[in-house]
Amino acid sequence: MTDFTGVNPADRGSNDADATEYERDSAYRVDPWTLSRTGLDLHTLAASESLYSLANGHIGLRGSLEEGEPRAVPGTYVNGFFEERPLPHAESGYGFPESGETAVNVTDGKIIRLFVGDSPFDMRYGSIEHHERALDLRAGTLDRHTEWTSPSGTPVRVTSRRLVSFAQRSLAAICYDVEPLDGDAYVALQSDLLANESGSTPSSDPRDAAHLDRPLRAEFAAARDSRAVLVHRTRRSKLRVAAGMTHLLEVPDEVETTIEAAGDLARYTVTAKVPRGSRLRLIKLVAYGWSHRRSAPALRDQVEAALSVARLTGWDGLIEQQRNFLDEFWSRADVEIDGDPALQQAVRVSMFHILQSAARAEGQAISAKGLSGVGYDGHTFWDAEVFALPMLTYTMPAAARDHLVWRHATLGEARARAKELGLRGAAFPWRTISGKENSGYWPAGTAAFHVNSAVAAATARYLAVTGDEDFETVAGVELLTETARLWASIGHFNDTEFHIDGVTGPDEYTAIVDDNLYTNVMAAQNLTDAADACERRPEVAATLGVDADEIALWRRAAAGVAMPYNDDLGVHEQSLGFTRHAEWDFAATKKKFYPLLLHYPYFQLYRRQVIKQADLTLAMHLRGDLFTPEQKERNFAYYEARTVRDSSLSAATQAVLAAETGHLELAYDYWAEVAFVDLGDLHGNVDDGLHIAAMGGSWMVAVAGFGGMRDHGGRVTFAPRLPRALQRIAFQLTYGGNVLRVSIRRDGDTGAEEATYEVEAGPGLRTWHHGEPVDVRPDQPVTLPVPVASDVEPVQQPARRAPKRRHSNGR
């Protein structure tokens, strides 16, 4: 049995494949602005539910069918809402977290069950004449068209359109139409709010969520007319959630309606005779609210008010608001690709889901799966700041700010964690929902202190891009200060060199090491940014107890940070002594044994030169100002041969450095891998939700890879080049009050490349093109030639771990 990618499910987890396109066997049609497929494949139902998720950063609805069945994971999520659970340890130790947090599948408002005569509308029975679903990236809707004949022989057409509103944060809506196709039909609709749905079964995959059994306790239920509200509370975390629904009905004359609500179920029932040539239309409006403080009546009133506003807006008004929001987003964020239509589609799908994970989060985090599933328990990791926030910072900075505001709100927990560990400042958690540490595995969790530098780097980038003085005063200086204090307390000086020992870098196959180079150079940037911020805002620094001596210590540590180097090999070391470890036997490692963490003990992984995801390579991207071009080339070649990409985060970084070091076709291959990580289910776990950080990587490869954008020291520069298969890449960036459009083109006759820089809004700015300063003014685009890239020696990947070649335009 094969899925729509043409990959045997038994081989999932390996991203090495034969030389076929990712999309060749895909059931999804290639289209620049929609993700659509025809037919119903029960084997890939869970994956399509993830890809068809709708969200706005506050509410998330998986793409399950309105009828409730067939379905894989019902999935309705409200950002930040979780249940606590015990976190057992085989052997306890001081500082081990005692409880964990898991995102909860809250009350499901998607359900609209249809009965045609005495037959339930279930596409596993009867006959399907046509079935198509489409995610519309410009309208922000999930559209469905089904023609079905019941087991008793009655044909009907069912169409629906679903949205989660960007304009009205608490609201989701569904327009559901039923049309008889042959004579009159008697139909019944049951529109439900349903809590404590049975979901996925327990799993042994460490990437999956913990299993929760009926986490919600009913507190309130009420119904009148076509409106109902349910309020529930979690048993352990004591969080309260309210869900409400109301309906707008367009029906023939003969209709009966009832409504009821009790416990875990509220139901609005419509029974009607629908003559041929007419239709029954039900517009369902659903609102959500949650709190750890507010009472059940207060939450009830909140969702009631949201429903009233939505009724006043009307379905057409909601559709118009959604389109207007997305028109504005795409006008300043779109990435355009000429020469690879499938990649164009995949990149836009990725950007749309990044937007959905954050647009209206407003004080909550961006989790690893967004609001598309509960893989990784719905936790937020460091990759939100490193891979998702760059796109948002340069295209929708308010959403990036919201995530950083959430980090600032959790500083109390981070300070307490640092104190528990005997450190100063703040120790942000490796994985969390509320701000508490949820990692039960110390070497890859607590020891990965580089999460602090990720928060700091995202803070400094946001400040450089926006100049947001209010945020800097209220949150930015404090975030930079407390993260810097951690490095000052965890590191030590040996003469003039500053060392950070006993930590884990981004590569989780190498743990508890001294002087992880990525950690060190990112800590140095954190220390410098903190010193700069405190000197810009001395009044804020004074309230935090920062004095001149502390700032001087930070600057001394940043200047002296150790960067391990092997003189014999002529490469930097990922960590001190890494290049002296034994090599991994890649030739003897079969494809089915990837990802390695599911087939080998960490003890074996930690002792060898095998890399889960780009580590030192990531350092060369984010701190490229510390490396010469020659060092980047040698380092990239050395670590490319040892990186197996068992993490979805890796290929984006490898693409960026491949492009910078002249391996443009390899970068193009990696770009496709990043963009299709979920469309092709390359890591075998899209069923549990999307890889939001990898989706951010799709944008990153376009802008930082082939656009060559770097923002070292708050200065934005470009060094663009195209792979052979593409004729043009264009993108927009928001920076310093400007919207800058960058377009890279290849002449079809000569093959020469040029880049055009144009200010579409704002006063103008200075940037750099391949090292040369460029002043760009409004209505005065600047076009410059792209230098021809030098030839480079090919680099090698581990056996059976090379990326799939991207064949396009004859490649």
Q: Report, as residue numbers or ranges, the catalytic residues.
A: 508
Q: Calculate the alpha carbon distances from 131 to 54, 65, 134, 419, 618 in Å.
A: 20, 12, 10, 57, 44
Please report, as a single letter, which amino acid is at residue 531.
A
Sign (positive/negative) of CA torsion 505, 507, 509, 514? negative
Q: What secondary structure, in 3-state letters, does 745-756 show?
A: EECCCCCCEEEE
Structural tokens at position 778? 């409004």
Choose among 296, 133, 325: nearest CA to 229: 296
Round to whole Å and give the CA distance between 478 and 467: 16
Virtual torsion, Cα 593, 597, 600, 604, nearest 10 deg: 130
Round to whole Å and give the CA distance between 455 and 432: 14
Contact between residue 181 and residue 157 where contact means Cβ atoms under 8 Å apart: yes
Round to whole Å and give the CA distance between 604 and 41: 40
Positions of E strands within 629-752: 728-735, 738-746
Please report, as a single letter, which amino acid is at residue 383.
D
Round to whole Å and give the CA distance between 256 and 419: 63
Contact between residue 755 and residue 769 where contact means Cβ atoms under 8 Å apart: yes
Choose among 157, 184, 160: nearest CA to 174: 160
DSSP for 566-632 reads: ETTTTEE-SSTTGGGSEEP--TT--GGG-SGGGTS-HHHHHTEE-BSS-SHHHHHHHTGGGS-HHHH
Instruction: Extract the annotated binding site for substrate.
Output: 382-383, 612-613
Choose among 606, 540, 539, 597: nearest CA to 575: 606
Q: Calculate the alpha carbon distances from 365 to 398, 438, 671 in Å.
A: 13, 15, 26
Please report, as a single letter, which amino acid is at residue 240.
R
Instruction: Extract the annotated binding site.
Output: 382-383, 612-613
Q: Cβ atoms within 10 A of the Cβ of 92, count? A: 9
- 3-state SS class at 729: strand
Q: How many helices and strands (H and E) does the chain possess? A: 19, 33
The 10 Å CB-count burial string (b at 16+, else e) for 332-351 is bbbbbbebbebbbbbbbbbb
Please name the residues in contact with 293: beta carbons below 8 A apart, sequence gap of 6 or more: none
Choose among 3, 12, 4: nearest CA to 592: 12
Please report, as a single letter, which amino acid is at residue 575.
S
Query: How is residue 42 annotated by DSSP?
Result: G
